[in-house]
Chains A and B, each alone.
Chain A
Amino acid sequence: MAGVRLSGVTKRYGAGITVLDNIDLEVHDREFMVLVGPSGCGKSTVLRVLSGLEPVDAGEIRIGDRVVNDLAPRDRDIAMVFQSYALYPHLTVFENIAFGLRVRKTPKQELARLVGEAAEVLSLSDKLEKLPRHLSGGERQRVALGRAIVRKPQVFLFDEPLSNLDAKLRVQMRAEISALHKRLQITTIYVTHDQVEAMTMGERITVLNGGHIQQTDEPLTLYNTPANRFVAEFIGSPPMNLMSLTKKDGVFQYAGHPLPFTGNTGAAEPSLDTVLAGIRPEHVDVAEGGGGLPAQVVLVEPMGGETIVYLALEDGTRLVAKIDGMRRFTLGETLMVTFDHQQIHWFDPRTERRISL
């Protein structure tokens, strides 16, 4: 058992491209850490330097109490599940799972027992003699998991393991992987570009963008207090609405309208002339009359329990609102929009960092 710590890790490809820029990341012993970010932000690279498949240009990597910078991949005691599964097509399920044990010259009986156990956990016991090409996508995924868990490593790395599965299977495997972690209690770093996966699976989440860590926090903390504009927009679906407000007569206004806040508006005056206001779709309130910003309904997506309503303000700015599913809307209808002041996230438009008003 071991925690993982990256300190000041920098990775460059060639002279120009800095893929990871001074990364500090601590994953606690037995923790399930999700690393989330858009495609190309360096998630896989974090796993690759951690596993030793790529050397780092600067910084220190610790697994447990060992600095592993100069250790070969095999000596780091890490198992990785690849996005493509990387199963050996010419080997049976048994041999695929047993591969790492055979490399380590595990005695025959021990090997059969360990593979049997792993197969049992993953409900693969009756598939052991099959070749990967005769398995379904979900079964292949499980074989890839089996290959990782059979060695009982100190750390698991997952690189977008569910992205090749269909939506239903993905939800199911999500739960299975979480259950597997509860059972095995092995420190895990799980990479995904899918914020829903991140929110549902992570004990903590690290948001990565452009080779920089944006924020590391528990899922709800991340959702409720995003550290900057990027995190605010990346986490949550549909994404947070962002409006640029300008101060006029000592009050922040949107396109000439004072913002129609409900609730307490008695915040301290900021030293800024403009701010970004972030409002989650579920915190946008609409009414057929009364005060507020007038907005036209341009698209309605009824989901049953709730309805996603896309609105256009008078200047064309789009707003997304998540409304209780019982209400009905008609296209072109004009609604009055109000916001709960307590629920607004404020960002400095220059630094894009979170500020409080």
Chain B
Amino acid sequence: MAGARRYRTAYLFLAPAVLVMLAVVLYPFIYNVAISFSNMSLYHLRDPQFIGLAHYKTIFLETEIWGIFGKTILWTAINVVSHLTLGIGLALLLNQEVRGRAWFRALLILPWAMPQYITALTWKGMFNYEYGAVNLLLKAVHLPAVPWLSNETWAFIAPIIANVWLGFPFMMVVALGALQSIPKEMYEAAQLDGANWWYQFRRITLPMLKPVLGPAAVLGTIWTFNNLNVIWLVTNQGEPADKTHILVTYVYKAAFHYYRYGYAAAFSIVIFLILLSFVVYYMRIQKEEV
């Protein structure tokens, strides 16, 4: 009781934040779970009925879903790996004593500082078959134009390029911060021991980046997995013929173009569970390492 009184002021200060969190996170989540068991749609907007796990069954029986799931994994993996390699690579370069380092750094952070949808739409324009900058450039070096947005494969590659562009600065900034916190003497000691650049990179730099880049990569994975904007905008809502969807764009379309609210809610729960198991898995690995 004494404890409750002691913390009363603290709870009072926390209350507004807690209330807002309940209103914008917990309530929608519970509501979402509820309608995932109902047949709510445009026909049953006012009179949804409980239909149990029917939507979940549909989701797992739809063969198309597995393709989309695979594409989501591919999309996430390619993006995160590219973000990490590009980010670390550029951070290594920026960590050198180069002239105009501050300028390069500012320039390289720019893609990240832009609003995502502006960048996405700009890339969409650049991928235009006839007038887009990318094809004009290809033509200038006598390469054939690429049907960026009309061919199923290219239309998947295009948003990946756009999202790699959008995502590497974050990893670069994180990696650069981590690099700068590695004491110079560690490399000097290694140098005296005879370690070359590659050896130092593998045995010192990478392991010392890991505690910082690990969590950043997990965040990046979640963001990318759930990245609606880029695919949605660059491929113009999953064109051609809904062949370029990842899970979230598929759900978004189901909910807001086809008004299949119950179905989309169930689908969202599935996505949530996938990410949750990923995070739990990561945390377990991390705990083992410590």
**A interface residue numbers (CB < 8 A to B):** 51-53, 73-74, 78-80, 82, 84, 86, 88-91, 99-100, 103-104, 147, 151
Q: Which residue of B lies closest to A79 (CB)?
A: B192
Whether A89 lies near B192 (C-beta < 8 A) is no
> Cα distance A208–B176 when bound, in Å?
38
CA distance A89 to B210 in the complex (A): 12
Q: A53-B188, A103-B199 are in contact. Are A86 and B183 (CB under 8 A)?
A: yes
Q: Mark B22-66, 1 if CB is under 8 A from A, else 0.
A: 000000000000000000000000000000000000000000000
Least CB separation from B193: chain A residue: A100
Instruction: Determine the residue in chain B with the shortest Cβ distance to A48.
Output: B188
Measured CA separation A51–B191 after assembly (Å): 10
Q: List 30 A-B contacts (CB under 8 A).
A: A51-B192, A53-B191, A73-B191, A73-B194, A74-B191, A74-B193, A74-B195, A78-B192, A79-B192, A80-B189, A82-B188, A82-B189, A84-B183, A84-B185, A86-B186, A86-B188, A88-B186, A88-B207, A90-B208, A90-B210, A99-B189, A99-B195, A99-B203, A103-B193, A103-B195, A103-B199, A104-B193, A104-B194, A147-B189, A151-B193
B residues in contact with A88, CB < 8 Å: 186, 203-204, 207
Option from A80, A84, A90, A91 in Cβ contact (under 8 Å) with B192 = A80
Contacts of B195 in A (CB 8 A): 74, 99, 103
Instruction: Return chain B residues, CB-CB under 8 Å to A89.
Output: 208
CA distance A74 to B187 in the complex (A): 12
Q: How far is the CB of B156 from chain A (nearest CB, A)?
A: 38
Q: How near does chain B come to A152, taking the closest CB pair, in angstroms?
A: 13
Q: What separation, in Å, do the CA atoms of A151 and B195 have in the docked complex? A: 14
Distance between A318 CB and nearest chain B CB, rounded to angstroms:
41
In the assembled complex, the CB of B190 is this many whole angstroms from the nearest CB of chain A, namely: 7
Distance between A104 CB and nearest chain B CB, rounded to angstroms: 6
CB A47 to nearest CB in B, in angstroms, measures: 10
A53-B188, A88-B207 given; 13 more Cβ-contact pairs under 8 Å: A52-B192, A53-B192, A73-B194, A80-B189, A82-B185, A84-B183, A84-B185, A86-B183, A90-B208, A91-B207, A99-B203, A100-B192, A103-B190
Contact of A86 among B189, B194, B207 (CB under 8 A): B189
* B186: A residues at CB distance < 8 A: 86, 88
Q: Mark B245-273 against chain A: 1 for CB-CB distance below 8 A, else 0.
A: 00000000000000000000000000000
User: Least Cβ distance of B76 to chain A in Å?
Assistant: 27
Taking CB atoms and an 8 Å cut-off, the chain B residues in 168-200 that contact chain A are: 183, 185-186, 188-195, 199
Expressed in whole angstroms, the Cα–Cα distance for A88 and B189 within the complex equals 10
A86 surroundings in chain B (CB, below 8 A): 183, 185-186, 188-189
Nearest chain B CB to A336 CB, angstrom units: 55
Would B193 and A99 count as touching, CB distance under 8 A? yes
Nearest A residue to B192, CB-CB: A73
Whether A90 touches B188, Cβ cut-off 8 Å, given contacts A100-B193, A103-B195, is no
With both chains docked as a complex, state the minimum distance between the C-beta of B102 and any C-beta of chain A, in angstroms: 20
A85 nearest CB neighbor, chain B only? B185
Contacts of B189 in A (CB 8 A): 80, 82, 86, 99, 147
A276 to chain B, nearest CB (A): 41
How many whole Å from B209's CB to the nearest CB in chain A?
Answer: 10
The 5 closest A-B pairs by CB, nearest first: A74-B194, A100-B193, A86-B185, A90-B207, A86-B189
The CA of A90 and the CA of B204, in the complex, are separated in Å by: 8
Q: Kindly provide the distance from the CB of A196 to the nearest chain B CB, expressed in whole angstroms.
A: 25
Task: Give the distance to chain A from B191, nearest Cβ to Cβ, in Å.
Answer: 5
A residues in contact with B204, CB < 8 Å: 88
Complex Cα gap A74–B200 (Å): 13
Residues of B within 8 A of A147 (CB): 189, 193
A103 to B196, CA, bound (A): 9
Chain B residues, CB < 8 A from A80? 188-189, 192
Of the candidates A51, A79, A86, the one having the most CB atoms from chain B within 10 angstroms of its own CB is: A86
**Residues of chain B with a CB closer than 8 A to A53's CB:** 188, 191-192
Q: Report if A103-B185 is in contact (Cβ < 8 Å); known contacts: A89-B208, A90-B208.
A: no
B73-119 CB contacts (< 8 Å) to partner A:
none
Interchain nearest-CB distance for B171 vs A (Å) = 20
Residues in B neighbouring A82, C-beta threshold 8 A: 185, 188-189
Using Cβ atoms and an 8 Å threshold, which residues of chain A touch B199?
103
Do the beta carbons of A74 and B208 come within 8 Å of each other?
A: no
> Which residues of A have CB within 8 Å of B208?
89-90
Return the chain A residue nearest B188 by Cβ: A53
Q: Do residues A74 and B192 form an inter-chain contact, with CB atoms below 8 A? A: yes
Q: How far is the CA of A79 from the CA of B189 in the complex (A)?
A: 8
The answer to whether B190 touches A99, judged by C-beta atoms less than 8 angstroms apart, is: yes
Nearest chain A residue, comparing its CB with the CB of B194: A74
> A80 CA to B199 CA in the complex, in Å?
19
Contacts of A51 in B (CB 8 A): 192
Contacts of A151 in B (CB 8 A): 193
Please name all residues of chain B whose beta carbon is closer than 8 Å to the beta carbon of A99 when the two chains form the complex.
189-190, 193, 195, 203
Give the complex CA separation of A84 and B186 in angstroms. 9
A69 to chain B, nearest CB (A): 17
- Tell me, rounded to whole Å, the shortest Cβ–Cβ distance linking B221 to chain A: 23
Nearest A residue to B200 by beta-carbon distance? A103
**How many Å lie between the Cα of A52 and that of B193 in the bound state?**
12
Closest chain B residue to A144 by CB distance?
B189
B95 to chain A, nearest CB (A): 18
Chain B residues positioned under 8 Å from A104 (CB to CB): 193-194
> Which chain A positions have C-beta within 8 A of B192?
51-53, 73-74, 78-80, 100
